Amino acid sequence: MMVIIAASFAAMVVPVRSGNTQSLADYLAAICAAPLRSSPLEEAPFLSENVSAMTKMMIDMGIRPSGDVDKDFVAMMTPHHQGAIEMAQAELRHGHNEQLRRMAQEIIVTQQQEIAAMRLAVGQPLPPSVPAPDQMLPAGQTDSKSIHPTNLVKEP
Half-sphere exposure at residue 28, Cβ-oriented, CA atoms within 13 angstroms: 18
User: What is the structure's pLDDT at 27?
Assistant: 75
* Residues contacting 85, CB < 8 A, separation 6+: 107, 108, 111, 112
pTM of the model as a whole: 0.66
Question: What is the model's pLDDT at position 151?
Answer: 42
pLDDT at 126: 87
Name every residue whose Cβ is closer than 8 Å to that of residue 22 and which is 6 or more positions away in sequence: 15, 30
- Averages of pLDDT over runs of 10 residues in the chain (156 residues) are 41 45 70 69 88 91 95 97 97 97 97 97 87 55 45 41
Instruction: Decide if 55 contacts 28 (C-beta within 8 A).
Output: yes
Alpha helices in 18-142 (DSSP H): 24-33, 44-61, 69-94, 98-121
Q: How far apart are CA 149 and CA 109, in angstroms?
A: 15
Say if residues 145 and 152 touch (Cβ distance below 8 Å).
no
Expressed in angstroms, the distance from the first to the final Cα of the chain is: 49
